[in-house]
Amino acid sequence: MNKDAIQGIKDSKHRDSHPYWLWESIQRIPQLLSECLSEDVKDRAQHLADQFEARNIDRILLVGTGSSYFSTIAEKHVFESITGIQTGSYLANELLAYPPLEINARTVAFFHSHSGSTMGDPEVVEFVKSKGGYTIGVTDLAGSQLAQCVDDVFIGPGGPKLELPASRTYATGLFRMLMLAAAIARVKGRAAAAAEIQGQIDQFPPIAQAILDQYEKLAPEIVQKASDITSFFVIAAGPNYATADEAALGLSQSAGVPSQAFQVENFIHGPMQTLEPTMGVVSVAAPGPLQSRVLEVAAAVKMVGSKSILLAPQGTPATGADVRIEIPGSVSEYLSPIAYMIPLWQVAYHFALLGRGGHPDKLAMERPGFKEAMLYLTHQSQGK
């Protein structure tokens, strides 16, 4: 959460009932994904891919904070498997504090920030530049501080948002980066890999719309079934560890109860032992090599007696889950971190309408002391 966002809360147009700004942002996701497929965005992706070839890039650093960082977890998998380039995912301040070896002129760093004003990003950009690295801002605001200090930008549609939670900005940022991975694969001569993911990208917006429409009706019912849960674990594997992180963040903010994300195997070795009947486990069993392991853990959760919320492709064998959220089987692992988050954002939003967590748009910023605490932390981080 950056300082500009905190200060801007009091200036945004306030809403006291549904639909909040967050709801409208979630509703816009399919449309904005379609806008990402415009010729302007494709041309920009091609320009950046050409820079990869011209600079002989052999290392990618994906950098962000909060939801922007979570998206880099999913991107890492795609970039390495599609482009064949070594890729790492980093929190911005940790990249500066614990930099990787060999940042040089063949390194590119992508800085993810919707607003382009995330505190500390300019310092990390300058650090990478000092090592000779090429810097790119993945942001939605062309005139932002981040856009002004990087070497290049990858601007998304949608413009500024009035709500604090990420939803459409997470989805469109990740979607654009998938497009870029395909473009880089093409210039690297990996035509088959590029064609495979590009075909999935081109077909995805209507699939996203279908998911949105289905769970706009079902999300309130899901929340009613889960309204007595006192804490959540969200488990996943591979690129969907990003989904687990983003979902746990959203549930913490909206349901007003502790929510934690775990990689599926780490969940077994400790956190699972704390399960009680009042606790819930959200299992993200997206396509991938570890899908069967996630399904096994979802079944084990029911044996313990806790509530189970399962996300899986349509037609996946039952595990006795209390709630099933089914995603079209045509969604590949590459696109699953977006597809599987759409219903989770909708569920989180309807949890927020219960009034147990923070304000749907403003989170905890209206609670006494919390805004003061966040301003203190941002000033402190700037050495003030």
- Regarding whether 185 and 229 lie in a shared domain, the answer is no
Task: Please report, for the domain that includes residue 96, its CATH number.
Answer: 3.40.50.10490
> Cα separation of 28 and 46, whole Å?
25
* pLDDT of res. 125: 98
The length of the chain in residues reads 384
* pLDDT of res. 363: 77
CA-closest candidate to residue 136, choices 158, 160, 156, 119: 156
Which sign does the torsion angle of CA 119, 123, 126, 130 carry?
negative
Contact 60, 86 (CB under 8 A): yes
- Regarding whether 269 and 175 lie in a shared domain, the answer is no
- Regarding whether 289 and 337 lie in a shared domain, the answer is yes
DSSP β-ladder status, 259-263 and 231-236: parallel
- Regarding whether 112 and 252 lie in a shared domain, the answer is no
246 is a domain residue? yes
Enclosing domain of residue 71: 15-189
Helix axes 168-187, 29-36, angle to 10 degrees: 20
* pLDDT of res. 379: 65
* pLDDT of res. 99: 95
pLDDT by position in tens, the chain (length 384)? 444 443 444 445 778 889 999 999 999 999 999 999 999 999 999 999 999 999 999 999 999 999 999 999 999 999 999 999 999 999 999 999 999 989 999 999 999 999 998 889 999 999 999 999 999 999 999 999 999 999 999 999 999 888 888 899 999 999 999 999 999 999 999 999 999 999 999 999 999 999 999 999 999 999 999 999 999 999 999 999 999 999 999 999 898 899 999 999 999 999 999 999 999 999 999 999 999 999 999 999 999 999 999 999 999 987 899 999 999 999 999 999 999 999 999 999 999 999 877 788 887 777 778 878 877 887 654 444
364 is a domain residue? no
- Regarding whether 172 and 66 lie in a shared domain, the answer is yes
- Regarding whether 228 and 154 lie in a shared domain, the answer is no
* Number of domains into which the chain is organized: 2
Q: What would the two tokens of residue 298 be?
A: 């979802």
> Cα separation of 59 and 258, whole Å?
37
CA-closest candidate to residue 92, choices 114, 123, 116, 57: 123
